[in-house]
RNA sequence: AGGACUGUGGCCAAGUGGUAAGGCAUCUGGUUUUGAUCCAGUGUACCGCAGGUUCGAAUCCUGCCAGUCCUGCCA
């Protein structure tokens, strides 16, 4: 019964089943979701999961998904975050109609709905202080007791609430509470606070208000006002669904069968990283990372800077699916998703990150040869690029050993032949070292008849290594990133900062092909045999490349 | 006896009474001027455990176990 466009087949999940049922039963004739971040931090990959779910549903059912800033707590929020959130959602490739929504847009309506509850005898102004409120609430196993202010008349409550709005009470002096059930097994139903007094400047409404609604009150009503059909949130809000339902059912505008309903799915946990906003804030403020967009951060902006593409993030979200199981997702799924995308779209290039000089002794001195190399070996249509070859080259230190350790070794060694990628076959002849025994120069010979073809005598050369011609090579910095933490679940560590990976960033200095001089920011490249890299989007006075992810390596696993 | 939710191969995840999809990872071959890609193949899953209903149960019932969440004037 879904009217999703042909060709797009997303994996099924329990939420889609619910929507399909609702549509089939004509409970709803349209789908409206929303992504409701609080603008108090940067978006991370966990939010991306939610964004893809909510906006993806809207796309598939030709419905609508609102971007809504849940800005009911001005003390913690800032426009810096609303801007970054808009940017990140757009970058992921999703769109919202018109201006984004803000809960703060509805402050006046919220106030009127609160008045409705007061008139119905379902809300009251309570003068218990925070500590007393806690005592009155009871515990998980014992019921609470009624506030002494619980039976104030609606007329009096109305006057009190007006006075709250008018600034007649100090912060903490009183709150507006729903009158529900102090014995409920759901703690959130023990007369939850609806409004508190805060003389705080709000990033959207300025100083217009000194009372601000609580999440439980604002969220369901915002959904109702916007005509949201399916309000999707994470598991920790399961209990809150009772207050969500109670409020909508007690408000005349919303107590209809087709009112919004809340459904909960499990949040994303990714191995070797943290997802809590508090911890991410801490990493930034303790300067353990460069900032919110540090490429090691699981933030959208960090992943973008690292070289992840919107397509890869969306594909990842699709691969992990949606369920209600508390789970821990392996990094491998994320990495496989980027590799799949980048393998298809990334131009190939060669970069040497830990250079050793190679001299081809039988190559004419002073000559520089131009070679046309494919930009993508599996996609001719991407064309060719010019690379260079001469008597002096750079290869990577990891690609040479004096003596091959075993028969499986496929790289350069003395008296061993190897193919230089896109160029000739060379053979190691001799080498020089420094006083510490490190190789400084390797002298080789080349077979002039092997450019673009195999040796005529039929000898097999299995190994292929990459290189950069020395005179035209451009110096470049490579930032090789690894997991931020050393343990799979750093969030559970007593002190998560103590389990940071000291090698999460290794900076290498080497060379790239001259064609990389104008590499656009964020453009993904595959440095052949090394991995996927992109030009850093912050540093522009020199060539800095961030490693997005290494190539799949089944070889080093065997060693 | 506080309540809510969850438990399907190493990791995600379909499945809603008819005899266990798929992805990632793993392993094995083949192709390959990236030890990549690509292609083909690869799993004895006590479906948390124990009972029960049924011709038949991962799916229904009962009991138990384990994990997560709930006592902010945070979201």
Q: Provide the CA A500 to C1' B22 distance, Å, integer.
A: 35
Domain that includes residue A433, residue range:
353-466
Residue A108 lies in a domain: yes
Is A370 in the same domain as A485? no
pLDDT score of A7 more than 60 = no
- Distance of A14 CA from B18 C1′ (whole Å): 23
Three-state DSSP state, A51: helix
Active site (annotated) includes residue A494: no
The verdict on residue A471 lying in a domain is no
Mark whether A267 is an active-site residue.
Answer: yes
A6 pLDDT above the threshold of 70: no
Backbone angles phi, psi at A362, to 5 degrees: -95, 15
Same domain, A314 and A394: no
Whether residue A324 is found in the same domain as residue A372 = no
User: Looking at the C1' of nucleotide B67, which residue has the nearest alpha carbon?
Assistant: A326
Q: Do both A167 and A23 map to the same domain?
A: yes
Compute the mean pLDDT over every residue in chain A, rounded to the nearest whole number. Answer: 96
- Cβ distance A58 to A32 under 8 Å? yes
User: Residue A240 in contact with residue A216, Cβ under 8 Å?
Assistant: yes
Q: What is the rounded CA–CA span in Å between residue A229 and residue A265?
A: 16
| Domain CATH number, residue A448 | 2.40.240.10
CA gap A325, A265 in Å, rounded: 8
Please say whether the beta carbons of A504 and A294 come within 8 A. Answer: no
Report CA A322 to chain centroid distance, whole Å.
Answer: 16
Q: What residues are paired with A439 via a beta bridge? A: A433
Q: What is the pLDDT of residue A557?
A: 62
Dihedral pair phi/psi, residue A392, rounded to 5°:
-120, 130
CA distances from A193 to A179, A476, A502, A523 (A): 9, 57, 45, 50
Instruction: State pLDDT tens for residues A136-195.
Output: 999 999 999 999 999 999 999 999 999 999 999 999 999 999 999 999 999 999 999 999
Q: Is A38 annotated as a binding residue?
A: yes
| Nearest nt (C1') from A340 Cα | B37
Question: Do A100 and A206 fall within a single domain?
Answer: yes
Q: For residue A1, is pLDDT > 50?
A: no
pLDDT at A9: 72
A197-231 tens-digit pLDDT:
999 999 999 999 999 999 999 999 999 999 999 99
Q: Is A268 annotated as a binding residue?
A: yes
ipTM of the complex in this document: 0.96
Q: How many domains does chain A have?
A: 3
- Reduced to 3 states (helix: H, G, I; strand: E, B; else coil), residue A196 is strand
pLDDT tens across A66-99, in order? 999 999 999 999 999 999 999 999 999 999 999 9
Tokens of A558: 């065997």
User: What CA–CA distance (Å, rounded) separates A170 from A162?
Assistant: 14
Angle at A362 between CA A358 and CA A367, to 5 degrees: 80
Asked about A421 being catalytic, the answer comes back as: no
pLDDT(A407) > 90: no
Predicted local distance difference test score (pLDDT) of residue A4: 40
Q: DSSP per residue over A209-237, as a string?
A: -SEEE-HHHHHHHHHHHHT-SEEEEEGGG
**Residues A322 and A394 occupy one common structural domain:** no
Per cent of chain A over pLDDT 90 is 95
Which member of A4, A30, A150, A277 is catalytic? A277
Q: Distance (Å, rounded) from C-alpha A74 to C-alpha A103?
A: 12
pTM of the model as a whole: 0.96
Chain B, protein-covered positions (CB within 7 A):
2-8, 10-16, 21-27, 33-38, 67-75
Look up residue A407 and give its DSSP letter. Answer: T
Q: Residues A214, A243: contact at Cβ < 8 Å? A: no
- Under the banding of pLDDT at 50, 70 and 90, the label for residue A58 is very high
Among the candidates A444, A466, A488, a domain finishes at A466
- Could you tell me the two tokens for A442? 């390797």
Domain boundary residue, one of A441, A466, A491: A466
pLDDT at residue A349, rounded to an integer: 98
Do A224 and A293 sit in the same domain of this protein?
Answer: no
> Which residues, listed in sequence order, are joined to residue A80 by a DSSP beta bridge?
none
In the predicted structure, residue A2 carries a pLDDT above the cut 50? no
For A180, counting Cβ atoms within 10 Å of its Cβ (0-12 exposed, 13-18 middle, 19+ buried), the class is: buried
- Give me the mean pLDDT over the A297-325 stretch: 98
CA of A354 to C1' of B47 (A): 51
CA closest to C1' of B27 belongs to A554
Distance, angstroms, CA A469 to C1' B12? 44
Q: Are residues A224 and A284 in the same domain?
A: no
Q: How confident is the model at residue A467 (pLDDT cuts 50, 70, 90)?
A: very high
Q: In this structure, what CATH number is given to the domain that contains residue A151?
A: 3.40.50.620
Residue A39 lies in a domain: yes
């Amino acid at each position: 019964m879904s009217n999703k466009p042909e060709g797009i087949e997303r994996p099924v999940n329990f939420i889609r089943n619910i929507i399909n049922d609702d549509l089939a039963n004509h409970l709803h004739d349209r789908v409206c979701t929303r992504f409701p971040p609080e603008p108090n931090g940067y978006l991370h990959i966990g939010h991306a999961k939610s964004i893809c779910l909510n906006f993806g549903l809207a796309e598939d059912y030709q419905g609508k998904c609102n971007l809504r800033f849940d800005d009911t707590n001005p003390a913690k929020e800032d426009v810096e975050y609303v801007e970054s959130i808009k940017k990140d959602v757009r970058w992921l490739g999703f769109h919202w109609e018109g201006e984004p929504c803000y809960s703060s847009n509805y402050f006046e309506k919220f106030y009127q709905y609160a008045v409705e509850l007061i008139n119905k005898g379902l809300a009251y102004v309570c003068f218990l202080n925070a500590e007393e409120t806690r005592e009155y609430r009871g515990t998980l196993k014992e019921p609470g007791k009624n506030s002494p202010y619980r039976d104030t008349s609606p007329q009096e409550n109305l006057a009190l609430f007006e006075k709250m709005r008018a600034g007649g009470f100090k912060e903490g002096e009183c709150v507006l509470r729903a009158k529900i059930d102090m014995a409920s097994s759901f703690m959130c139903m023990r007369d939850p606070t609806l409004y508190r007094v805060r003389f705080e400047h709000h990033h959207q409404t300025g100083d217009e208000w000194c009372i601000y609604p609580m999440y439980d009150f604002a969220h369901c009503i915002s959904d109702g006002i916007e005509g949201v059909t399916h309000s999707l949130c994470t598991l920790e809000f399961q209990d809150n669904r009772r207050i969500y339902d109670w409020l909508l059912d007690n408000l005349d505008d919303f107590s209809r069968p087709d009112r919004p309903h809340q459904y909960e799915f499990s949040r994303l946990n990714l191995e070797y990283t943290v997802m809590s906003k508090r911890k991410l804030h801490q990493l930034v403020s303790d300067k353990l990372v460069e900032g919110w967009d540090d490429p090691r951060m699981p933030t959208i902006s960090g992943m973008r800077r690292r070289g992840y593409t919107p397509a890869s993030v969306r594909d990842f979200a699709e691969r992990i699916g949606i369920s209600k199981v508390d789970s821990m997702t392996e990094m491998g799924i994320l990495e496989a998703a980027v590799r799949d995308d980048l393998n298809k779209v990334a131009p190939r290039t060669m970069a040497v990150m830990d250079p050793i000089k190679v001299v081809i002794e039988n190559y004419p001195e002073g000559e520089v040869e131009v070679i046309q190399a494919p930009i993508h070996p599996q996609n001719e249509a991407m064309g060719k690029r010019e690379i260079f070859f001469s008597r002096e080259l750079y290869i990577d230190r990891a690609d040479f050993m004096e003596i091959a350790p075993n028969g499986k070794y496929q790289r350069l060694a003395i008296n061993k032949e190897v193919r230089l990628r896109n160029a000739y076959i060379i053979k190691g002849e001799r080498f020089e070292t420094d006083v510490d025994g490190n190789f400084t120069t390797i002298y080789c010979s080349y077979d002039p008849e092997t450019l673009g073809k195999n040796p005529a005598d039929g000898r097999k050369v299995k190994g292929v290594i990459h290189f950069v011609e020395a005179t035209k090579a451009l110096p470049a910095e490579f930032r090789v990133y690894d997991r931020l933490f050393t343990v799979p679940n750093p969030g559970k560590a007593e002190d998560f900062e103590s389990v940071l990976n000291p090698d999460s960033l290794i900076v290498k200095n080497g060379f790239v092909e001259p064609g990389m001089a104008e590499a656009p920011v964020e453009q993904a490249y595959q440095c052949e045999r090394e991995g996927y890299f992109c030009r850093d989007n912050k540093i522009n006075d020199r060539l800095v490349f961030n490693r997005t992810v290494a190539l799949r390596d089944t070889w080093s696993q065997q060693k």
